[in-house]
Chain A
Amino acid sequence: MTPPAVSCPSCGAPIDTHNPGIIMAVCEHCGNAVYWDQQRVQSAGKQSVPASGFTRLYTGAAGALMGKRFRVEGRVRYSFGFGFWDEWFVELADGSTAWITEDNHELCVETPLGKLPLEPWGNYRPGAKINAGGQEFVVEEVGHAQCIGVEGNLPFRIEAGEKYDYIDASTPDGRDCLGVEYDEATPTAYHGHWLSYASVVLDDEGDEW
């Protein structure tokens, strides 16, 4: 499948996409979000773009993720009420995609696990256990997320202001992470691994600031 070649319906600037899985893109010139709906390009209006430069990753960054070349295509920033975290959408050299969660500079790479039948969100507290993908996870955080900004190319349509409840959990050995989003009646789960600082190497990265 060939990636769609589109122009921003708002300002006419070309929107560069690499991966055929891209559903939504935020024009880097005017901040207008566009998405593909039944082969037509639709405008979702201007999106708030998160501030850049504070995060380890950034849209357009390229480097190596656990030895594989990758590129950051876009990100979604979520608020949890008293802080926020970023979800970076990345594509790898083999064309596959993944998400890197960056919360206070801790990185976790995740891929979708699919729908996970769980108890209602309100039944979970830190310390509760969840079985997913044959592994046991321990809940570390339960909260409400609200999208507060998007940029770049994304594999689904999302707009600032969208809300959902979430659960974050880790395996007891601290290696694997599980993100559960109560976006529908049956929540969607993402499974991944916590990344050490050294397991992500960016082409353009210096410690001076």
Chain B
Amino acid sequence: MVTAAANDADRFGIGAGRPRPPYKPRAVTCAHCGAGLQIKDERAQLVVCDYCGSRLNVTAAEAKVLGSGPGRKPDFPLALGARFLFKGAKYEVIARMRFIEDDDESEQSLQYLLYHPRRGTLYLDEYQGDWSISWPTHVMPTSDALAMTRGRILRTHDNRSWVTDGTGTYELKYVDGALPWIANVGDKIRYAEFSEKSGSGLQYEAEAQGDEIEYGTGQSLSADAVRRAMGASARPAPGAAKPSAPAFRASPALDAAQMRNWYLTLIVIALAIAGLSFLAYAWAAGAGRIVLQQSFGRAELTGQKLSDSFHVAGAGGLIRVRVEAPALDNEWMAVDLAVVEGEDNVLYDFDSDVSYYHGVEDGESWSEGSHADSHYIEIPKAGDYRLLVHAVGAAGETENAQAPPRGLNLTVTAGAVMDDYFLYAGIFALVVFGILVYAFFKWRSAEAGDDD
């Protein structure tokens, strides 16, 4: 049985194609020096003669000289005619360009136009040792790509999100080879570059010149990928010097998406550490069991006074001794304390200073010091203990000790956990969080390249 498809194929002869016509690069003669030149891409509009550097308009039947060479040739690591392997196809370098950004000669990027007669053209870029390759796309941004600033998110109509790498203006400083447009040294192109938010390494770009805006997409290339793509086939033009070795950054620079992700990750980690530290502080502050709460009057503190007995159970452990003088008012107290086992066996002695001063200066209230102080003591074993207390103090700014100005309260907590470290860790993490947030916004507001 003959199928409908076979009938169609028979009727329209679609089953039989012709062989492809041979690929024949176009030959032109330099109208200035007479050198024979070969044009790989028939769309070429501008050719720069390899021999005399003349710029030739090759759109007419006869090549027409547009002007002299474009100035000093940069050190291109890829020669005209060099092969570049990408996705299994061998491309050839048919043109090279050097751009600078915002009149800054140090902000240089080298661009290569790669050509393949079946697959078309690609743009290979090298900026300060970072390499990338791009090709046209028609996927458009949902907002003005050229109005973005670094770190901002741009969305495109294929539901991708991109982080702005930077925007600016490129100026063409040098061109050679053959181009499908008439390029003039001094041409300025507004650009915006983006990295995919996910950190995939994919890139998106917008370029505007005159009334035209074009979009491109591409990817960064590792040094190994570039070396493999170049292989050993890079060859200089006849008579040309051997090209310089390609430059690679020692460690690939992070793109904007990766930088943004790093900042946000670190900010979240710092915030999480701060939160956990404060939670731990709250838990530690409430840990343990109060085994002694006792108040002492001023008179009791002038001599040495033993507290009531308190019991530490289990294998001992930490106790927290909190000294509090809530009535201190522009006064200070120095309290000598000792942990006494049984009747008179002093295990540890320590002192505690509490002072609280406040006032109004230049119309503003101020205060310093605290009404309370805490100490942690390691108790080696279970048993009954007491605290021996003695205090001195004074009012005002005098350092001469007198009788204690106020009474105080002692609170002993058995099974305590040192909470200060958690508090310090939380404060430190908060400071780091603040520094990171500041650095993130500073990075976003800086021009791309400032921190490279």
Contact = CB atoms under 8 A, between A and B. Distances in A.
A47 to B, nearest CB: 17
Contacts of B119: 56, 105, 197, 207
Interface in A93-136: 93-95, 104-106, 125-127
A174 B117 contact: no
Contact of B140 (A95, A172, A202): A172
Prevailing SS type, chain B contact patch: loop
B181 A82 contact: yes
B190 to A, nearest CB: 13
11 contacts: A58-B21, A60-B17, A62-B17, A69-B9, A71-B13, A93-B9, A105-B119, A140-B138, A140-B214, A194-B138, A208-B90
A83 to B, nearest CB: 5
Interface in A169-198: 170-174, 177, 194, 197
Interface residues of A: mostly helix, strand, loop or mixed? loop
A206 B138 CA distance: 26
B121 A93 contact: no
Nearest to B42: A54
Interface string B153-185: 000011000000000000000000000111000
Contacts of A69: 5, 8-9, 14-15
Contacts of B137: 174
Contact of A70 (B14, B136, B139, B180): B14
Contacts of A203: 17
A58 B18 CA distance: 9
Given A105-B118, A173-B158, A58 B12 contact: no
Contacts of B8: 69, 93-95
B212 interface: yes
Interface residues of A, number: 51
B9 to A, nearest CB: 6
B45 interface: yes
Contacts of A52: 21
A19 B180 contact: no
B29 interface: no
A69 to B, nearest CB: 5
B43 A207 contact: no
A71 B259 CA distance: 50
